[in-house]
Amino acid sequence: MEVKLDKRYELAVSAEQAWAVLCDIHAVARCMPGAQITEQLDATHYKGTVKSKIGPAVMQFGGDIEVLGLDAAAKSMQMLGKGADKSGSSASMELKAHLAAGATAGTSVLVGEATIVVSGKLAQFGSRLLVPVSDAMLAQFADNFRAAAAAVPAPEPAPAATAAGTAPAAPAEPRAAVVVTPAPVKELNALALMWTVFRGWLAGLFGGKRA
């Protein structure tokens, strides 16, 4: 089963601040609830896990991540993630994301296109469940991404041009590299996601029965 999602998330930070997070695969993974990179194989290949909590039980899925492309000029990235659990279910997601200018100065928009393919028991839920669950997961990711980008120092304004005949300003001291460290996130709470989906299903059910 294949599900496609196109999302836009408004960010109250500049594209440069948001790019500091988007270009760092470790920072991107930390923004996804329950996700963690466990090993870096080379410059573009990683191994990771996703923890999902249902009541007192915690399940863990293992998988691989490949960075297919990073374009600093276009502020875009493309990656492919694949994973499976012990029950035989598997899933893959190809994500294309880029940053666009926001409606006002100092803001930006995170634009994403995801293609999700699932098989095994996961496919039995059908698109009516997988789409809202995926929406809820991406909404949590966007909130964490906003927090991580907000922690990146804003870029310093370019120095003003010097007047003719005056000495140029001394060059600024080089700034230290920014280390993006979002706040730790909990395991993906599947019960909360299922409750969100269930509420939406109830609303649709009773809404459709109105005279």
Q: Which tokens is 88 given? A: 């035989």
Question: What is the reported pLDDT for 91?
Answer: 80
Question: What is the reported pLDDT for 150?
Answer: 95
Task: Supply the DSSP string of 159-184, one letter for each residue.
Answer: PPPPPTTSPPPPPPPPPPPP---PPP
- What are residue 6's DSSP bridge partners? 113
Q: Are 188 and 137 in contact (CB under 8 A)?
A: yes
Question: What is the reported pLDDT for 90?
Answer: 79
Question: What is the reported pLDDT for 160?
Answer: 57
End-to-end CA distance of the chain, in Å? Answer: 35
pTM beyond 0.75, yes or no: no
Q: Which tokens is 162 given? A: 């010097």
Element housing 27 (H / E)? helix 25-31
- 76 vs 97: CA distance, rounded Å: 6
> Along the 211 residues of the chain, how does pLDDT read in single tens digits?
888 889 999 999 999 999 999 999 999 988 987 788 999 999 999 999 877 654 455 566 788 999 999 999 999 999 998 888 776 777 888 999 999 999 999 999 999 998 888 787 666 766 667 777 778 888 888 999 999 999 999 877 656 555 555 555 554 444 444 444 444 444 555 445 444 445 444 444 455 444 4
Question: What is the reported pLDDT for 20?
Answer: 96
Q: Are 188 and 54 in contact (CB under 8 A)?
A: no
Residue (of 45, 88, 84, 85) closest to 68 by Cα position:
45
Mind listing the domains of the chain with CATH numbers? Answer: 2-153+185-204 (3.30.530.20)
